[in-house]
Amino acid sequence: MQLTLRVCGPPRSSPRFGGGINHPRAPYPKLLCRVFNATAEELGLVPPSPPAAISITMEETTIEDGGTDVERRDFLHVAGVAAVGGLLAPGLLRRVGAAAASSLMEEAVPLEAALSITDHYRLVLDSYPANDLMAPVLTHLKFVSQLLESSSSKVTQTQLATAASEAAGFVSRLALDLNDQDGGWRYHHLAVAYAERAENPVLQAYHFTDMSLRVGILHDGELAVQLVERASSVVPKQAPPGLQAWLAGRAAGAYSRVGDQLAALHALDRAEALAYRAGEEEAPWPFTQLFGHGSLDGYRGAIAARLGLPQMALPALAEALKRQNPGHIDKYRALALGDLAMSHLPEGEVEESVRLTAEAFDIGSQLGSYRVLQRVREVRSCLNPYRDVAAVRDLDERMAGV
């Protein structure tokens, strides 16, 4: 995407910093403040004087003063530039002096950048097109890995290895969402290696269960079970109930991939019992939400749909979708819609199944998600007996058009 900044009015300068010095314009100060969790003045991005007007031209469309759509699209660009271009160095030099800033730039600021940017990628990973995310996430992974190799502090190395592990895991997920199986596995192994370097068994378990989920989607149920059992083997025996509940839920999903209904439902029951015990405990690692009883609805619905148990699937999936914003574009919402569509078929509710499949297809197409579109194809194959129904024909035309 080509981005052109057109500044209206003369360049700003600050007497405090010396005349004639230009500063980033809106929305970039705001975005950089979010990345580094600091004020614009602290980062030396703006002088005390009021900001000048600005317009941003993007693919021939002008948006005044950086609205929220611009923020969402341009955060990745700003984060990547901040990571590899050292945009903040002049502000740091002005604030603390050359000698102190040199030390900060070598350790504290890059570390803060690595951790902050990792956090923000985590927030957009499942609601942003995978193809658009791949290049900036790879750049971030390279940035973090270079910092890791150049760091001399054991504490900093551990933090950076954790960030690198998460970033490699992001790349693995994106690769698989783009149907790049070799790339998905390559970065999965890299993510596990960085987690081992960080001496973080919980993070290792996360990567094993994440890959278990993805190979299950590719219909390799046996490998999905092996990976989730590997995850359970590396988690400490005294892990908190919330973490154990999450692992049990993932195990239930893996068992459902091989059609083992008894093992899947037993694991779901265990997950529910552990989730009740978890209460309001803190999340076991920074990139997961609290896993309580309500978190199981999506698991239960997807697993029941896969096992052909509509009476269990329909209420669970309806409850899971109720907790989401109906207008939110998200891969998990699309997958839940696909599972719900599948669960309506045994009840003979063809038109409702088609409506839900169409909504999932729209989200999958918008996000370029192979994972979502694969689920849509599975549901559509189950609609073959109804191919002459008008709603199914309309769905086929809609999919063919895209």
82-91, 158-167, 339-348: range with lowest mean pLDDT: 82-91
Note whether 98 and 7 are same-domain residues. yes
Decide if pLDDT at 9 tops 60.
no
Decide if pLDDT at 200 tops 60.
yes
pLDDT for the residue numbered 290? 58
Domain termination residue (choose one: 254, 289, 322): 322
> Which residue type does 122 have?
R
324: Cβ–Cβ under 8 A, 6 or more apart, which residues? 330, 332, 333, 336
In a domain, 256, yes or no: yes
Distance (Å) of CA 140 to CA 114, 201, 260, 287: 8, 23, 40, 17
SS3 54: strand
pLDDT in tens, 242-255: 888 889 999 999 99
The residue with greater pLDDT, 31 or 137, is 137
Note whether 90 and 23 are same-domain residues. yes
Note whether 287 and 345 are same-domain residues. no
106-110, 207-211, 256-260: range with lowest mean pLDDT: 106-110
Note whether 40 and 88 are same-domain residues. yes
In a domain, 367, yes or no: yes
Domain count, the chain: 3
Q: Which helix (H) or strand (E) holds 372?
A: helix 370-382
Note whether 334 and 292 are same-domain residues. no
136: Cβ–Cβ under 8 A, 6 or more apart, which residues? 76, 77, 79, 80, 121
402: Cβ–Cβ under 8 A, 6 or more apart, which residues? 361, 365
Decide if pLDDT at 162 tops 50.
yes
Phi and psi for 78 in degrees, rounded to 5? -65, -45
Distance (Å) of CA 45 to CA 42, 89, 100, 132, 225: 8, 10, 19, 27, 51
Give the max Cα distance, the chain: 75
In a domain, 350, yes or no: yes
Which residues are 7's β-sheet partners?
54
Residue 126: both structure tokens together: 């499942």
43: Cβ–Cβ under 8 A, 6 or more apart, which residues? 29, 32, 33, 36, 88, 91, 92
In a domain, 261, yes or no: yes
pLDDT band per the 50, 70, 90 thresholds, residue 317: very high
Note whether 317 and 352 are same-domain residues. no
Note whether 387 and 350 are same-domain residues. yes
Note whether 102 and 6 are same-domain residues. yes
Residue range(s) defining the domain that contains residue 47: 1-106
In a domain, 145, yes or no: no
Phi-psi region of 200 (alpha: psi -120 to 50; beta: other; left: phi over 0): beta
Decide if pLDDT at 163 tops 60.
yes
The residue-averaged pLDDT of 197-219 equals 92
> Which residue type does 67 have?
G
pLDDT for the residue numbered 324? 74
Rg (CA), the chain: 24
Decide if pLDDT at 388 tops 80.
yes
In a domain, 301, yes or no: yes
Q: Where are the alpha helices (DSSP H) in 151-289?
A: 154-177, 181-197, 201-217, 221-234, 241-257, 261-278
Domain termination residue (choose one: 77, 106, 135): 106
The residue-averaged pLDDT of 74-80 equals 43
Considering 44-53, 59-68, 84-93, the range whose residues carry the highest mean pLDDT is 44-53
pLDDT band per the 50, 70, 90 thresholds, residue 10: very low
* E strands, 346-402, in order: none
Note whether 304 and 338 are same-domain residues. no
Domain termination residue (choose one: 106, 138, 159): 106
Query: What's the pTM value of the predicted model, to 2 decimals?
Result: 0.70
47: Cβ–Cβ under 8 A, 6 or more apart, which residues? 12, 13, 14, 15, 16, 17, 23
47: exposed, middle or buried (C-beta count within 10 Å: 0-12, 13-18, 19+)?
Answer: middle
pLDDT band per the 50, 70, 90 thresholds, residue 277: confident
Which residues are 5's β-sheet partners?
56
In a domain, 29, yes or no: yes
In a domain, 303, yes or no: yes
